[in-house]
A and B are shown apart, each in its own frame.
Chain A
Amino acid sequence: MADLTVEVCGLRFRNPVLPAAGPNVRDGRMLTEAAHGGAGGLVAKTISVDAAPVPMPHMAEVRGSMLNTELWSEMPPERWLSYEYAVARRAADEAGIPLILSLGYSGEEIAQLAPLVRPWADAVELSTHYLGEDATPMIQAIAAAKAALDVPVFVKMSPLGREMRAAARAAQDAGADAIVATNSLGPAFGLDIETGYPLLGGSDGYGWLSGPAIKPLSVRCVYDIAQAVDLPIIGVGGVNRGEDAVEFLMAGASLVQVCTAAIIRGSTVYGKIASQLGDWLDQHGYPSPHAIRGLAIKKTVP
């Protein structure tokens, strides 16, 4: 039987399927459920220096995919620091898995938050979602995290066109320890044709696409990044079943994260995807996820 454990940045994950930051890990209770649901490690919802406003509605179905305009955590950081992280830490310790805390966004905000979350974090993940396409704010955020922390710093990228390689190189040069790719895709826009109003709330009705529709884009990003940097990569975007995880690993990822499928299918989805991945590896004679990592690059890149 395939050994699903994976080591990334010195952290040992019991399998390569983790939650991605989102409502599926919006508090300590949901993180505990994720651990019970078989996640290989935990990633908490992004927090920032203030609680996020809540646009109504902030999720809607579009054919084959989902639109969301959920920002970072609607709970203030004080709540996470005084209660939720302790609950999540306990769940991670009981399951023997790492806990990764997601922080946003600018260098100043990261400098403020990073030392505060350190007692609970095995690693941090920096969301660059609202930092734009210029690499400078991302580099400043990485520098702030590295200056404040002695744990690995992962950087989560939004899907960019052909710029993924350059962005990943910039993150590596700034000291990032791993790249998470990708966040949801957008801005996108959908309308309720009966009313003529946008499907989503918020000032402009814009949203971000996630779920199955973005998987080919996220896999391409992972594939590009894997050729550009030597860092471990965590693939995210449309992972719904074991085969999706296989595809990300073959494109160069070491771990995968799951958000939309967990919102829809619940917290046991992580364990289900991990066991489907294990079955696939067994059926194809691979001893571990590592054995297929980057296989596509080996086959396609001379």
Chain B
Amino acid sequence: MPYYETPLVERRELEHHTLLSLHAPELANALRPGQVVMVRCAPHASDDPLLRRALFVAGATSATGQIELLVEPTERGLPWLASQPLGTKLDLYGPVGQGFRLNADTRNLLLAGTGPAVPALLFAARDAVARGLAVMLLISAESDHALPPPFLLPPEVEYQTSNTGSASLFHLIAGKTEAPASKISGKRKAARKPPEPIPTLGHSPLAWADQIFLALTEPLITEAAQTVKTGRLRWPREFAQAALAGPLPCGLGTCYACPVTTHDGQRLRCKDGPVFDLRLLG
């Protein structure tokens, strides 16, 4: 596993998150949406917290050699990370795990999620737009300020959010009209030749999508699988993939603290995931 000392080159303090840009050309080349980096979140002279923090990468650009981390100060160590001055060399390793697998014939990509894996969707959205895909992003959170701000996304992305928690996510995906209060934060602009128009609320984003990439926590797997099953008659492998958030103490496959029960037996989130085919989970 490659280890890096990456300088912090930009920091943007948002309402609830901090967006960090790190100069890490080798990593920027290697990272795929859905993968994680393990960041040491303590000053040099301190051992607290001892273990690294696992962060889903929010963006990586080979051209600039930069990677982006969207830090939400939810865990010990993360407030320290978010407050570092420019120039700080952050000690991290990655890429950890398997990212999303984009099919060659996918034209319409639906991204949907909630929780700590959401940055993976921002990365996937930017990557997909760069490849000329039509992208729709649905995110739910407990409150407005916990939602990633729309300016982090390319303007081509249709971005819909809900601030009423995870239950509303599945309404958004299924395009149910009785969805709990939701709003459109992003602005739909013409995507590059989408084969079909992007659906508005009331139509099913799920029916429109060639693939759906989800950001979930484990308790949401069953409902996610149910939603996809109900919305699609045919549900081939790789159609629905989920980046699963949860503890990753080592990120190396050594501590066995990240087991995920799949239909193929027990798997490790840090090696076999964090992105899994939803059919294996639900």
Do A and B bind?
yes
Interface residues of A (CB under 8 A from B): 23, 26, 54-61, 63-66, 68, 201, 211-212, 240, 260, 263-266, 268
B191 / chain A contacts, CB cutoff of 8 Å: none
From the candidates B3, B52, B254, B257, name the one contacting A268 in the complex (CB within 8 A): B3
Instruction: Report whether A61 and B50 are in contact in the complex, using a CB–CB cutoff of 8 Å.
Output: yes
Which one of B3, B51, B93, B266 lies within 8 Å of A66 (CB-CB)? B51
Residues of A contacting B250 in the complex (Cβ-Cβ under 8 angstroms): 23, 59, 263-264
Chain A CB within 10 Å — which of B51, B258, B266 has the most? B51
Assess whether B50 is in contact with A59, with CB atoms less than 8 Å apart. no
Chain B hits for A61, CB < 8 A:
49-51, 249
B226 to chain A, nearest CB (A): 25
Q: B106 → chain A, closest Cβ, in Å?
A: 35
Given contacts A26-B254, A59-B249, contact A66 B259 (CB under 8 A): no
Do A201 and B47 have beta carbons less than 8 Å apart?
Answer: no
On chain B, the residues within 8 Å of A263 by CB distance are 250, 252, 254
In the complex, the answer to whether B255 meets A58 with C-beta atoms within 8 Å is yes
Contact residues, B11-59 vs A (CB, 8 A):
40, 47-52
Total A-B Cβ pairs within 8 A = 64
Query: What is B's interface to A at a CB cutoff of 8 Å?
Result: 1, 3, 40, 47-52, 91, 93, 249-250, 252, 254-259, 266
- Whether the Cβ atoms of A56 and B256 lie closer than 8 Å is yes
Given contacts A58-B256, A61-B51, 4 further A-B contacts (CB under 8 A): A58-B257, A60-B257, A263-B252, A266-B3
Q: Write the nearest CB–CB distance from B54 to chain A, whole angstroms.
A: 12
Contacting residue for B48 out of A26, A63, A265, A266, CB 8 A: A63
> Is the beta-carbon distance between B47 and A211 smaller than 8 angstroms?
yes
Closest to A59 in B: B255
Q: Which residues in A have their C-beta under 8 angstroms from that of B91?
A: 265
Whether A212 pairs with B256 at a CB distance below 8 angstroms is: no
Residues of A within 8 A of B257 (CB): 56-60
B252 to chain A, nearest CB (A): 7
In the complex where A265-B3, A266-B1, A266-B93 touch, is A57 in contact with B259 (Cβ < 8 A)?
A: yes
Residue of chain A at shortest CB distance from B51? A61
List, in ascending order, chain A residues with CB within 8 A of B48's CB.
Answer: 63-64
A211-B3 Cα distance, complex, nearest whole Å: 20
- Interface pairs (17), CB distance under 8 Å: A56-B259, A57-B249, A57-B255, A57-B256, A57-B257, A58-B257, A59-B249, A59-B250, A61-B49, A61-B50, A64-B47, A211-B47, A240-B47, A263-B250, A263-B252, A264-B250, A266-B3
A264 to B41, CA, bound (A): 12
A212 and B47 form a contact (CB under 8 A) = yes
Interface centre among A26, A66, A212, A264 (most CB of B within 10 A): A264
- For residue B258, which residues in chain A have a CB less than 8 angstroms away from its CB? 57
Closest chain A residue to B91, Cβ basis: A265
